[in-house]
Amino acid sequence: MEKLRVAIFVSGKGSNMVELLKACQQKHYPATIKLVICDNPKSLALKKTKKFKVPTELVNLNRYQNRNSFEKEILRLLAINKIEFICLAGFMKILSHDFVSKWYGNIINIHPSLLPKYPGLKTHSRALSDNSKITGCSIHFVSSTVDKGPIIAQSKVNISVNDNIESLSAKVLIKEHLLYKEVLKSIAEIKTKY
């Protein structure tokens, strides 16, 4: 049985990416990471892929005439690597309606809040200023409206009175790492009957 061929898109530290790469190294995990695309030359994720020996491509928007040619290059890389599914893991560029339409149903994102609460940026500072008692993370299908696609799974985190942005971010990341590999596993099992 063939494993699902996955690309990860990343811009930052790449901790979710590393967890997915580790999960995909397991013999019976139904997905395999065949490509990492990073848009940020300063991303720590670029260094972290090295030990996994996964094809990694830096596609820096600043080096392209416009967003269209940037996305065209990404589509070319996805095609030559025969990618079937995309996981956004801290990818901070907004993908166009055209791009998302092509991949709809086969592109998911992880977001550090319990959507529909706190779409966009600074999720933890907003949760703290609202005195929320609970936050968490969500995995959703990517649609043309940012952070508004159908939710697949969520994981909750209690906010304590002592939490600050750093502590909350660390607590939510632990849940993100667990949830992302579980969700990818379930999706890949369905898609491949692995």
- Contact residues: ligand GAR, CB under 6 A: 12-17, 89-90, 110-112, 173, 176
In whole angstroms, how close is the CB of 154 to ligand GAR at the nearest point? 12
Contacts of 145-151 spanning 24+ positions with Cβ under 8 A = 146/94, 146/119, 146/120, 147/109, 147/111, 147/115, 147/119, 147/120, 148/115, 148/116, 148/119, 149/109, 151/115
Residue number with CB closer to ligand GAR (93 or 191): 93
Q: Measuring CA to CA, which residue among 141, 169, 135, 132 is closest to residue 155?
A: 135
Ramachandran area for residue 65 (φ above 0: left; ψ -120 to 50: alpha; else beta): alpha
CA-CA-CA-CA torsion for 72, 60, 108, 118, nearest 10 degrees?
-130
Min. distance of Cβ 143 from ligand GAR in angstroms? 13
Q: How far is the CB of 80 from ligand GAR (least distance, A)?
A: 25
Q: Judged by CB, which is closer to ligand GAR: 80, or 94?
A: 94
**Of the two residues 63 and 122, which places its CB atom closer to ligand GAR in the complex?**
122
What is residue 52's DSSP assignment? G
Position of minimal CB gap to ligand GAR: 90
Q: Least distance (Å) from ligand GAR to the CB of residue 6? A: 15
- Residue 131 class from Cβ within 10 Å (0-12 exposed, 13-18 middle, 19+ buried)? exposed
Nearer to ligand GAR, 30 or 90 (CB): 90
**CB nearer to ligand GAR: pick between 15 and 49:** 15
- How far, in Å, CA of 110 to CA of 138, rounded? 6
Work out how close the CB of 28 gets to ligand GAR at its nearest, in angstroms, rounded to a whole number.
Answer: 24
User: Closest by alpha carbon to 74, among 98, 53, 54, 50?
Assistant: 98
Does the annotation mark 111 as catalytic?
yes
Select which of 28, 97, 111, 124 is catalytic: 111
Residues designated catalytic:
111
